[in-house]
């Protein structure tokens, strides 16, 4: 065999190998596409006949609500419930009421909803209850007890707890600024009530209460307003979960680090603020527990067990000290 | 592998390869298309629900307003459409995570249909007050269906986004493989095509070069060795065999040429040594005159006869002559023989005058007479008789030459009447007793056949010539010649 023939044969062999490899690759890719295409890449649900619970929240992207979803999902898996998550941004009661009505007509087995105020919403809840669909409020409750149950923090208590934390770190007779989500929110007002009562007990006072409407930009604006309006503030408290980081960053920018910042609930930004020392402390709720307990309560109800009409989940405080202790504990 | 087998295997392989690539690409694109179709179909159903519910509500309102059978039919049509559509919803795949919403939509439509039933029932009572009909509830329900279906379509799109991103990237990958497959298969085809043509062309070229060399006379050109067992291989074998034969033939040819050359030289020498026949013939004439002057009349006559015989024999043998001349010559010949045999031999000749114009090949009769002398009469002591009879028939001339001599055996007789070359050769060959003309009887017969017959075959021979012979009784040769004269 000459050198030329050998070279020729080798290149032909190489080409054949390339061809085989390409064909295999081609088929493999083709098969992958085929499996993606065959059911549009979606896994078909097994046991789609499970009872169906809908959890109507605000924003799934939010850390707090995300944890509620996780809890509810896990409980659903555990107790055999399909949990549907529905976001209704904002807090227009008409929209929320319409959603509740929609699920009532869609014959869900239970509704978990973050309550808002107003007759329209209450009517929707009432209708659902009347047609045999239990409504459980979560995180935020209604005034009246038309719903089956409430699962979430004891808001007045949480407010008092936070008041205690503030009292411990400021001198008597100080004035404190407050930012709430909305003054019309029962949840926020309950927190405020508790907070104010404890604060008053120590001779401190609330300078004013401003609304942030869960908007970061609004939180910043209201902080600036509070600092402008009341230069002698010793502390600013944010009662909704997005407030504290915004307040802390604004004060830092304004050079008013003498004003202590308190807030609600943990988020990466909040924890970072505590670590940096620009946030004094936060009161952390148990969103995962709320979600989990809400679904478990529905399961209990279906099984005929007696369930409380108010199920409070615990709260705990987070300060720089406790955070470091916790991190060291983890180590 | 033969060329035929190679072509039969590789051409289909290449065609299949090329088509395979096209088929693969077509197949996968069809799959993707059908998936787009599926998703689109889902959304079409969901969109359809919104539309049909809206139309149903409208038709119902018209029905409530007009309350006649015509509009009721319209309404019923819409409602049935919706019922069918709700069945379509149940047929949608229940897939994570949107199956709950599909279920919701189904339930909402069911509630809507239930409400429609209730309203229909109410409407069947003509006294019912319009105010008690839950139209507001129905409208609300319609709104919910609209919301749910819109949400669902939104979710479908959301969900499909990631899947389609993947499918798209996989499709791009697939396209790249498709292009690679195409390029490789083209390269491979070229390779195979080159290899195929090369495997045919190279040995053929080699053979062509060798053939050209051999054709130009280089018989000692080294014969190429066959490399393959295909058709070209056998061509090589044949070629080599041919060259081998050619070489042997060439050697033989050279030998023959040399032999011929020698023969030619000999002949030339022989001719050089021969006396010019005209000189002989003139000399004979002088002898005749001299003999006559000296009173030897018979010797003079004999010399004239010999002279005439020479003259006749010297003429061009390929020209036909008149029978008259031929007979004259035969008579001269007999005269010479008579001088030798004296009274031992007698010639009886009968000539039909009408036959004397007959055209006949030159020197036909003399060899036959000679034959009669040599084989028939020579050995007879006395009473030898030769007959030469020429008769004219309307279409032919019959010449009979007969003797009463020794006769011939059947075998000799048969051998005389064959035309094959070996015998012809034999008669003119040296193994025979040479006679005066140097021509044998077979030579005569052959010329007769060629002259009179259309075909030089045995049939013509048998038609023209008959020989009757019996041992010790004599021989007669009968020539039956078609009449032919100068005109």
B44, B41, B148, B42: which is closest to B95 by C-alpha?
B42
- Return the bridge partners of A151, or none: A138, A311
Give the residue numbers spanning the domain of A135. Answer: 52-153+287-314
Residue A27 lies in a domain: no
Residue A23 lies in a domain: no
Residue A95 lies in a domain: yes
Residue A19 lies in a domain: no
A245 shares its domain with A138: no
In this model, does residue B434 exceed pLDDT 70? no
CB contact under 8 A, B163 and A41: yes
A249 shares its domain with A163: yes
pLDDT at residue B450 in the model: 79
| Cross-chain CB nearest to B163 (options A12, A36, A82) | A36
- Quote the number of domains for chain A: 2
Helix/strand/coil for A49:
coil
pLDDT at residue B65 in the model: 85
A125 shares its domain with A167: no
Min Cα distance A236 → chain B (Å) is 40
The per-residue pLDDT string of chain A (331 residues; one tens digit each, 9 = 90 and over) reads 577 778 888 888 888 898 888 888 888 888 887 777 665 445 555 556 788 899 998 887 888 899 999 999 999 989 988 888 888 887 788 888 999 999 998 889 999 999 888 889 999 999 999 999 999 999 888 877 788 899 999 999 999 999 998 888 888 888 899 999 888 888 889 999 999 999 888 888 888 999 988 788 999 999 999 999 998 888 999 998 888 899 999 999 988 888 999 998 888 888 889 988 889 899 999 999 999 999 999 999 888 888 888 899 998 888 888 888 887 877 6
In which band, very low, low, confident or very high, does the pLDDT at B430 lie, cut at 50, 70 and 90? very low
HEC profile of A176-202: EEEEECCCCCHHHHHHHHHHHHHHHHC
A278 shares its domain with A205: yes
What is the spatial distance between Cα A218 and Cα A221, in angstroms, rounded to a whole number? 5
CB contact under 8 A, A22 and B104: no
- Alpha-helical (H) ranges within B274-346 are 277-293, 297-314, 323-341
CB contacts, 8 Å: A120 with chain B: none
Percent of chain A with pLDDT over 70: 95
CB contacts, 8 Å: A107 with chain B: 107, 110-111
pLDDT at residue B274 in the model: 55
Min Cα distance B149 → chain A (Å) is 12
pLDDT at residue B421 in the model: 44
- DSSP labels, B76-118: HHHHHHHHHHHHHHHHS--BTTTHHHHHHHHHHHHHHHHHHHH
Min Cα distance B213 → chain A (Å) is 26
| Cross-chain CB nearest to B32 (options A25, A37, A102) | A37
A70 shares its domain with A182: no
A207 shares its domain with A324: yes
A198 shares its domain with A326: yes
pLDDT at residue B423 in the model: 44
Which of B28, B168, B176, B194 should be substituted to probe chain A, the one whose Cβ sees the most A Cβ atoms within 10 Å? B28
Q: Is the Cβ–Cβ distance between A178 and A159 less than 8 Å? A: no
pLDDT at residue B431 in the model: 40
A179 shares its domain with A68: no
Tokens of A318: 């987070």
Least confident window among A30-39, A290-299, B59-68, B182-191: A30-39
What is the spatial distance between Cα A55 and Cα B69, in angstroms, rounded to a whole number? 45
In which band, very low, low, confident or very high, does the pLDDT at B319 lie, cut at 50, 70 and 90? confident
In which band, very low, low, confident or very high, does the pLDDT at B463 lie, cut at 50, 70 and 90? confident
Nearest CA in chain A to B163: A41
CB contact under 8 A, A29 and B177: yes
A192 shares its domain with A291: no
pLDDT at residue B80 in the model: 93
Q: What is the pairing mode between strands B345-351 and A316-319?
A: unpaired
Reported as a single tens digit per residue, the pLDDT across B102-132 is 888 888 999 999 999 998 888 888 787 888 8
Gyration radius (Cα) of chain B, Å: 60
Q: Please report the ipTM that was assigned to this predicted complex.
A: 0.74
Q: How far apart are the first and last CA of chain B?
A: 73
CB contact under 8 A, A26 and B174: yes
Phi and psi at A213, nearest 5°, equal 55, 35
More confident position, B49 or B25: B49
CATH architecture of the domain with range B344-482: 2-Layer Sandwich (3.30)
Chain A / chain B CB contacts < 8 angstroms: 128
Phi and psi at A139, nearest 5°, equal 65, -45
What is the spatial distance between Cα A220 and Cα A245, in angstroms, rounded to a whole number? 9
Q: Which residue has the tokens 């032909």?
A: A12
A323 shares its domain with A307: no
In this model, does residue B160 exceed pLDDT 80? no
Min Cα distance B177 → chain A (Å) is 6
pLDDT at residue A68 in the model: 93
Residue A46 lies in a domain: no
| Cross-chain CB nearest to A36 (options B144, B167, B184) | B167
Nearest CA in chain A to B42: A40
A140 shares its domain with A205: no
pLDDT at residue B455 in the model: 60
Average pLDDT rounded to a whole number, residues B29-40: 80
CB contact under 8 A, A37 and B167: yes
A145 shares its domain with A269: no
**Residue A83: which CATH number?**
3.40.50.2300
Min Cα distance A45 → chain B (Å) is 5
What is the spatial distance between Cα B300 and Cα B286, in angstroms, rounded to a whole number? 9
In this model, does residue B329 exceed pLDDT 80? yes
Reported as a single tens digit per residue, the pLDDT across A246-271 is 999 999 998 888 899 999 888 888 88
Q: How many CB atoms lie within 10 A of CB B330?
A: 25
pLDDT at residue B454 in the model: 66
In this model, does residue B426 exceed pLDDT 50? no
């Amino acid at each position: 065999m000459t050198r030329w023939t050998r070279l020729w044969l080798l290149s032909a062999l190489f080409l054949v190998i390339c061809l085989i490899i390409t064909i295999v690759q081609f088929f493999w890719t083709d098969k992958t596409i085929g499996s993606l295409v065959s059911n549009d890449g979606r896994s078909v649900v097994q046991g789609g006949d499970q009872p169906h619970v809908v959890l109507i929240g605000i924003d799934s992207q939010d850390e707090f609500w995300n944890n509620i979803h996780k809890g509810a999902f896990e409980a659903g898996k555990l107790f055999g419930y399909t949990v549907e998550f529905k976001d209704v941004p904002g807090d227009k009661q008409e929209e929320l009421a319409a959603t509740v009505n929609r699920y009532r007509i869609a014959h869900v087995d239970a509704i978990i909803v973050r309550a808002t105020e107003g007759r329209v919403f209450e009517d929707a809840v009432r209708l659902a209850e009347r047609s045999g669909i239990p409504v459980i409020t979560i995180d935020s409750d209604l005034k009246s007890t038309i719903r089956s149950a409430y699962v979430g923090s004891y808001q007045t208590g949480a407010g008092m707890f936070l008041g205690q934390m503030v009292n411990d770190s400021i001198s008597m007779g100080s004035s404190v600024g407050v930012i709430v989500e909305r003054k019309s929110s029962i949840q926020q007002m309950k927190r405020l009530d508790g907070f104010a009562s404890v604060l008053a007990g120590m001779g401190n006072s609330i300078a004013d209460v401003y609304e942030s409407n869960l908007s970061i930009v609004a939180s910043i604006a209201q902080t600036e307003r509070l600092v402008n309006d009341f230069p002698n503030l010793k502390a600013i408290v944010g009662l909704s979960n997005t407030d504290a980081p915004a307040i802390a960053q604004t004060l830092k920018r304004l050079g008013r680090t003498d004003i202590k910042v308190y807030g609600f609930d943990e988020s990466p930004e909040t924890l970072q603020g505590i670590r940096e020392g620009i946030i004094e402390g936060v009161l952390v709720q148990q969103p995962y527990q709320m979600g989990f307990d809400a679904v478990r309560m529905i399961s209990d109800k279906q099984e005929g067990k007696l369930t409380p009409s108010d199920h409070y989940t615990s709260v705990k405080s987070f300060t720089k000290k406790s955070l470091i202790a916790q991190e060291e504990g983890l180590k | 592998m033969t060329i035929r087998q190679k072509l039969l295997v590789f051409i289909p392989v290449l065609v299949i390869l090329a088509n395979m690539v096209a088929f693969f690409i077509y197949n996968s694109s069809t799959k993707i298309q059908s998936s787009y179709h599926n998703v689109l179909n889902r959304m079409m159903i969901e969109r359809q629900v919104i539309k049909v519910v809206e139309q149903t509500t409208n038709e119902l309102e018209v029905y409530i307003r007009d309350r006649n059978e015509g509009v009721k039919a319209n309404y019923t049509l819409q409602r049935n459409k919706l019922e069918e559509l709700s069945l379509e919803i149940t047929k949608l795949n229940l897939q994570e995570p949107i199956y709950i919403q599909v279920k919701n939509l189904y339930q909402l439509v069911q509630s809507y249909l239930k409400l429609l039933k209730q309203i229909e029932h109410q409407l069947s009572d003509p006294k019912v007050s319009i105010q008690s009909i839950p139209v507001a509830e129905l409208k609300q329900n319609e709104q919910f269906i609209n919301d749910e279906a819109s949400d669902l379509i939104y979710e479908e799109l959301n969900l499909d986004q990631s899947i389609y991103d993947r499918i798209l990237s996989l499709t791009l990958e697939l396209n790249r493989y498709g292009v690679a497959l195409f390029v490789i298969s083209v390269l491979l085809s070229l390779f195979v095509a080159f290899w195929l043509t090369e495997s045919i062309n190279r040995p053929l070229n080699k053979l062509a070069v060798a053939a050209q060399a051999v054709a130009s006379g280089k018989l000692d050109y080294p014969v190429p060795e066959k490399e393959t067992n295909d058709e070209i291989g056998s061509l090589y074998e044949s070629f080599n065999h041919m060259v081998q034969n050619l070489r042997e033939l060439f050697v033989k040819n050279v030998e023959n040429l040399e032999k011929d050359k020698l023969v030619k030289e000999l002949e030339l020498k022989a001719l050089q040594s021969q006396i010019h026949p005209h000189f002989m013939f003139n000399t004979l004439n002088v002898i005749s005159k001299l003999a006559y002057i000296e009173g030897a009349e018979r010797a003079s006559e004999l010399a004239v006869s010999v002279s005439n015989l020479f003259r006749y024999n010297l003429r061009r043998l390929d020209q036909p002559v008149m029978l008259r001349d031929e007979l004259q010559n035969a008579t001269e010949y007999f005269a010479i023989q008579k001088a030798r045999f004296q009274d031992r031999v007698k010639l009886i000749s009968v000539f039909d005058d009408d036959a004397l114009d007959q055209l006949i090949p030159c020197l036909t009769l003399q060899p036959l007479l000679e034959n009669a002398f040599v084989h028939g009469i020579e050995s007879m002591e006395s009473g030898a008789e030769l007959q030469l009879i020429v008769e004219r028939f309307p279409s032919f001339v019959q010449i009979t030459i007969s003797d009463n001599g020794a006769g011939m055996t059947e075998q000799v007789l048969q051998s005389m009447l064959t035309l094959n070359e070996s015998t012809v050769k034999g008669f003119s060959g040296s193994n025979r007793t040479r006679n005066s003309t140097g021509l044998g009887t077979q030579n005569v017969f052959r010329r007769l056949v060629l002259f009179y017959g259309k075909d030089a075959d045995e049939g013509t021979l048998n038609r023209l010539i008959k020989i009757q012979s019996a041992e010790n009784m004599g021989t007669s040769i009968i020539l039956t010649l078609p009449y032919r004269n100068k005109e």
